[in-house]
Structure 1
Amino acid sequence: MPATYSSAAQAVHLLRVLIVEDDPIQLALLKAMLLDSGVRLVAEAVDGQGGLDRLADGRFDLVITDLRMDGMDGVEFLSRALALHGGAFAFSSAVEPDVLASAESIAHLQGASLIGALGKPLQIGELQALLRRAAAACAPSGQPERQRPAQAWPLSALATALEWRQFFPVYQPKLDLNNGEVTGVEVLARWRHPTAGLIAPAQFIATMEQTELIDVLFRQLLRQALADLASWEAQGQQLSLAINIAPRTLEDRSLPERLVQQVREAGIAPERISFELTETAISRHPATVLESVTRLRLRGFQVAVDDFGVGYSSLALLSALPFSELKIDRSFIAGMPLNGKVMPILESIMRLAKELGLRTVAEGIETGAERDFLRALGCEAGQGFLFGKPMNGPCLAAWLASRRA
C-alpha cells in the first residue's frame, strides 16, 4: 500500500463522526457506509435537539446533518451547533440545488467549516471524498483545530502567546488554473497553544484587531514567511506571497518604507508580496485604505481585495483604489456547478475584474468541476483543498519537491 494512501486511511480512521438524520433508513445506510470506509467512531441522533445533546456531551471531528428534518431543520441545527462544535460540517439532503446553495451560503456566512454536501441516494465515492476533506481539515496531530469563541481568549493570553512566539505561519498553495503551476502561497496564522492544541485564526484575529497586538502578529508572521520564501527560492522554487493586513496596521505612516526595507533584507522583490484586505474593512476605513494602498503600490507591492462579494464596498470605491488582485469569496464557489443563480454573479465579477485590470483568484476550490467552471469563466488562479491544504514551511517544501519530482 503506498505511503500516501496509508496515511490518508489512517487519518480517516481517527475521525469521530456524528450523524443527525430523522430518516431511520438513511441513518442506518450512512452509518454502515461510514464504518465500511474505515471511520472508527460513528454516533447518531434522530433530530436536531438530539444532535445538540450529543455535541454537548462529546467532541466530534465531523457532523453530517440532514437539511430537511421535522421540527428543527438542518439550517437551524447548524446555527445552534456552532456554539458547541468546532470541527467540520457537511449536509446530507435531497433538497433542490438552489435551496442547498442557499443553506451552504448561510453556513459560510456564519463561519462554519462546511466541507461539502452528500446527495441522496448516497454515493460511496462522494462520502469517501468528504471524509478525506474532513481528515485534511484536522491538525497534524490528528486532532481538529480548536474552535473556541474569540472572547474566550483574554488579551493577556494573546499577548503572552506573542511574547513566547506561539503563533506561526502556514501556507496554502495558489495555482494557475490554466496550466496547473504553483504560482504562490497565502500566509495563514495558527496558534500552537501549550494545552489547547492548534487554534485557528477565527478564534483570535478579531480580538487582536482591536489592539496593537495585530501589528505584532503581522510582523512576526511576515518575518517568518519571508525567511521561508527565501529558503524555497534557494531550492529553485520562485513563488509570490500573500498575507492579510488589518486596517489598524495600515494607519502607521512609516509602514511602506519599513516593509520595503524588510523585503530587501530578505532578498525578495516587493512585486512578489501581496497584502490582502477584506472588502468589509475597505468600506469601513476608506480614507486610511486609499492612502496606504496607494503608497504600497508606489513601492512595488501588490494589494488584493479579499473575500470579494460578501462585503459592502461600492463599485466607485473599488475603482478608485489601485488594487492589483480580486479574490472571490468561497461562498460563491461551493456547489457552484449546481447553482444557476451563482453563475451570472460570477460572470459579472469576472467582467468587472477584467474592466478594472485586476487579476482574479478563487478561494475554496474543492472539486474538479468547480475548477473547470472557474477556468471556463476566465478566472486566472485558485486555491483550496483540491490543490492543497494549509501546510507549515517544511511540509510545503516537501510538497513542492514532490510536485517537481
Structure 2
Amino acid sequence: MTTNAKCLLVLDDDEAVARTIGFVAERLGFSVACYDAPEPFFEAVRERNPSHVALDLIMPRMDGIEVLRRLALMHCEAELILTSGMGLKVLESAQTTASERGLNISGVLPKPFQPSVLSELLSRPHTSDPVSRAVTHAPGGHTVQVDELVAAVASREIQFRVQPKLDLGTRLVVGAEILACWPHPQQGIIAPDDFIPVAESSAQLMQGLTRLVLEQSLSWFARSPLLAMGSIAVNLSTRSLSDVTLADHIESVCRAHGVPTDKLILEITESSAMDRTADTFDTLTRLCLKGFRLSVDDFGTGYSSLEQLARLPLSELKIDKSFVIKLHTSTDARKIVDATIGLARSMGLICVAEGVENSAALETLTTLGCNLAQGFYISRPLSGMAFDTWLQRVSACPHFATM
C-alpha cells in the first residue's frame, strides 16, 4: 500500500499536547488526526497508511511498547516519533525496541518539547523509501539456499563493492572497505547480511567465498589510484580464521598482484578476536608477521576485555554503526562512541566510525577525535570502476564533497 504522504496520526491522551503536535504539523502542510485510545488509532493506521505517527509511551489503556508491537505486526512503514515525560532513558530504550522490530524511528521527543525540535523530526526524509530499500535488499525477501550460494561462488557470480574511508583530519580518502555483493540474475541485489550467514554454515563454502572476494578486490586494487593513496580492508569470518593456510594464501595473492601486504587491512569481528582457539590465534599472529594489519570490526557489540584486546596485534578499532547512527539521538550511544575513541587513542590504534549518514555525525566524530569514517554520507558502496571515477572527482576538489 502506498504511504499517505504528509499524513500524521497522533496517539496521546493529553489533549493539549496532541493539539500542539497537530498545530506544528499542520503548519508544515500535514493532515493531522488525533486519538486518545488505541483501537480507533489502529483502525486509522490501517485505513490511512500515514507517513508519520506521534506516539505517547504512557497511555492508560495500552502502554507504548504494546502499541509498537502491534504496529510492527501491521507492517507499519510510518516514521515514528516517540514522546514521553518519563525521561530520555525510557525513550531511548523504546526507540531500540522499535528499531529491533523493524519500525522506522524518526526520533524521540521528551516532554515538554520545543516545537522547533518536532518540526525538525517531521521534516526528515522518509527512511522507508523504496529506492533506498532496493539498494540493500533483494526484492521479495529471497531466502538463500546453500546449494544456490555454492553455485554462485563457483561461477564467480559473487562480486565486490568498495566503500571509501575518509580521514577526518585532512578530509582526504585514505582507504576503502571491500564488501561482498551478489547481483542475483532473478532476485536482484542480495545483501551480504542475507548470504554471509549462509556461507558461514560451511567452512568450505566460507573459504571459497573469502578467497573469491580477496582475489577480485586485490586484482582491482592493484590498478586503482587508491593503491598510491591508501589501503583496502577485507572482512574475515570466524570460519576463515580456522583455515591454517589462510595467511599463506592471502600473501601469495598479494604477491601475484604486486600489492604490498601493509596495504591490506583484515577486519575481524570482536567475537572472532576473542576466540582463543590455537588455529585462530596462529592465523592472526601469522597474518601480522607477514605485514598485514588487523582491525576489530563492530566494536562495542561483543564482550571483549581490555586485557584480551591488549594481547592482540591490532591496528584499528571500528565503532559499530548502531552507535554512530544514534550519535545525536542517544546520550548513551554518544558516550560509547566517545569512550571507544578514547580507548583507541590510549592503545595507539586508529579509530574508524562506520554508518556515517549525515554531516552532523561527521562533524561530531571529528570533534571527538575519531580518525576515519565511512558511510552513506561519504559514499554508498560502489563497483571498482565507479569508485575509481568517484575518487578522481573528489581528489580534484579542494574540500571533500559527497555524491
- Counterpart among 241, 255, 264 of residue 232 in structure 2: 241
SS of the residue aligned with 1:204? Answer: helix
Quick one: structure 1 residues 179 and 247, their matched pair in 2 at CA, closer, same or farther if it must change by over 3 Å?
A: same
Give the TM-score normalised by structure 2.
0.76
Corresponding residue for residue 317 of structure 2: 326
Deviations 1:195-232 (A, max 9, x none): 22111111111121010211111111111111221232
Corresponding residue for residue 125 of structure 2: 130
Quick one: structure 1 residues 89 and 50, their matched pair in 2 at CA, closer, same or farther if it must change by over 3 Å?
A: closer
Corresponding residue for residue 383 of structure 1: 374
Larger radius of gyration: 2
Give the length in aligned residue pairs. 368
Whole-Å separation in 2 of the counterparts to 1:34 and 1:393: 43
Alignment of structure 1 residues 77-156 onto 2, 5 Å: 77=68, 81=72, 90-95=79-84, 97-106=88-97, 110=100, 117=107, 121=115, 130-131=125-126, 134=129, 137-139=132-134, 145-146=138-139, 148=141, 152-156=143-147
| Aligned-residue offset at 1:324 | 0.8
Deviations 1:329-354 (A, max 9, x none): 12222232453334443333223212
Deviations 1:53-90 (A, max 9, x none): 79xxxxx9x986545366474687479849969xx985
Asked if structure 1 preserves the Cα contact closer than 8 Å seen for 2:8 and 2:30, the reply is no
**117-126 or 153-162: bigger deviation:** 117-126
Deviations 1:108-137 (A, max 9, x none): 6x4959685386857777666534895773
Whole-Å separation in 2 of the counterparts to 1:139 and 1:299: 40
Whole-Å separation in 2 of the counterparts to 1:285 and 1:47: 53
The residue type equivalent to 2:262 in the other structure is: E
Corresponding residue for residue 154 of structure 2: 163
- Counterpart among 252, 255, 258 of residue 261 in structure 1: 252
The residue type equivalent to 1:213 in the other structure is: L
Quick one: structure 1 residues 93 and 313, their matched pair in 2 at CA, closer, same or farther if it must change by over 3 Å?
A: same
Corresponding residue for residue 195 of structure 1: 186
Asked if structure 2 preserves the Cα contact closer than 8 Å seen for 1:104 and 1:114, the reply is no
Alignment of structure 1 residues 175-190 onto 2, 5 Å: 175-190=166-181
Residue 335 in structure 1 maps to residue 330 in structure 2: no
Asked if structure 2 preserves the Cα contact closer than 8 Å seen for 1:247 and 1:288, the reply is no
Quick one: structure 1 residues 27 and 262, their matched pair in 2 at CA, closer, same or farther if it must change by over 3 Å?
A: farther
Q: How well do the aligned residues superpose, as a CA RMSD in angstroms?
A: 4.0
Corresponding residue for residue 8 of structure 1: none
The residue type equivalent to 1:68 in the other structure is: D
Give the TM-score normalised by structure 1.
0.75
Corresponding residue for residue 317 of structure 1: 308
| Aligned-residue offset at 1:250 | 1.5
Corresponding residue for residue 385 of structure 2: 394
Corresponding residue for residue 10 of structure 1: none
The residue type equivalent to 2:56 in the other structure is: R
- Counterpart among 265, 287, 294 of residue 285 in structure 2: 294
SS of the residue aligned with 2:295? Answer: strand
Whole-Å separation in 1 of the counterparts to 2:249 and 2:70: 43
Quick one: structure 1 residues 361 and 136, their matched pair in 2 at CA, closer, same or farther if it must change by over 3 Å?
A: farther
Corresponding residue for residue 68 of structure 1: 56
Quick one: structure 1 residues 84 and 178, their matched pair in 2 at CA, closer, same or farther if it must change by over 3 Å?
A: same
SS of the residue aligned with 2:274? Answer: helix
Q: What is the aligned-residue identity percentage? A: 29
- Counterpart among 187, 198, 211 of residue 219 in structure 1: 211
Quick one: structure 1 residues 111 and 77, their matched pair in 2 at CA, closer, same or farther if it must change by over 3 Å?
A: closer
Asked if structure 2 preserves the Cα contact closer than 8 Å seen for 1:20 and 1:46, the reply is no
Whole-Å separation in 2 of the counterparts to 1:118 and 1:324: 36
Quick one: structure 1 residues 251 and 273, their matched pair in 2 at CA, closer, same or farther if it must change by over 3 Å?
A: same
Quick one: structure 1 residues 286 and 134, their matched pair in 2 at CA, closer, same or farther if it must change by over 3 Å?
A: farther
| Aligned-residue offset at 1:308 | 0.6
Asked if structure 2 preserves the Cα contact closer than 8 Å seen for 1:333 and 1:364, the reply is yes
SS of the residue aligned with 1:231? Answer: coil
The residue type equivalent to 2:185 in the other structure is: P
| Aligned-residue offset at 1:182 | 0.6
